[in-house]
A = this chain, B = another copy of it.
Amino acid sequence: MGKDAQGLAERSAAAMFERDRASQGLGMRIVEMAPGRARVTMRVRGDMVNGHAICHGGFVFTLADSAFAFACNSHNHATVAAGATVDFLAPAREGEELIAEATEVWRSRRTGIYEVTVTTGQGVKVALFRGRAHQIDGAVVDP
C-alpha cells in the first residue's frame, strides 16, 4: 500500500514532467517524489535574471509552482492550481541552484493546501509559497 502510493507518486510525476515543456525548458529536475511531496531543482540562468543578475521573481514562483503541481498530482487524481501566495525573502543570483520543497499540509476530497519553500544550495530561504489545488476529473496515469 505504502509502496503502491510511492510508485504512483513517482509514475505520475514522471508522466507529467514528460509532457511539461515549460518545466523542462527551464532546466528543472525532480530530485525526490513521495505521496504529497516533491523536491525540484532549477539553476538560475542568464535568461532568468534582470540587469542586476538577480532572478526574476516570476521564475522563482514558477519553480515553486511546478513542485506544487507534482506534489498535488502525486495521488494520481488530476489536480489543478486554483491560486497561490508567495513571499519573496531573499534574492537568488545567476548561477545559483534553487531547490523547491513542496509538502501537503491539508487535503480533503476535492481541495488541497501545499507549502513550498524555495532555498539556495546554501540553505538560504528565497521564497515561501502556499498553493491551493482543486481536483478535477480523471487520473494522471493508468493506476
Contact = CB atoms under 8 A, between A and B. Distances in A.
Interface string A109-125: 00101000000000001
Contact of A59 (B62, B128, B132): B62
Interface string A71-90: 00000000011111111110
A53 to B, nearest CB: 9
Interface in A54-109: 55-59, 61-63, 65-66, 80-89, 105-106, 108
Contacts of A23: 50, 56
- Size class of the A contact interface (CB-based, 8 Å): 35 or more
> Which secondary structure dominates chain A's binding surface?
mixed
Total identical chains: 4
Q: Which of A57, A59, A80, A86 has the most CB of B within 10 A?
A: A57
A80 B46 CA distance: 20
A47 interface: yes
A142 B69 CA distance: 41
A5 interface: no
B58 A22 contact: yes
Interface of A: 16, 18-23, 25, 46-52, 55-59, 61-63, 65-66, 80-89, 105-106, 108, 111, 113, 125, 128, 130, 132
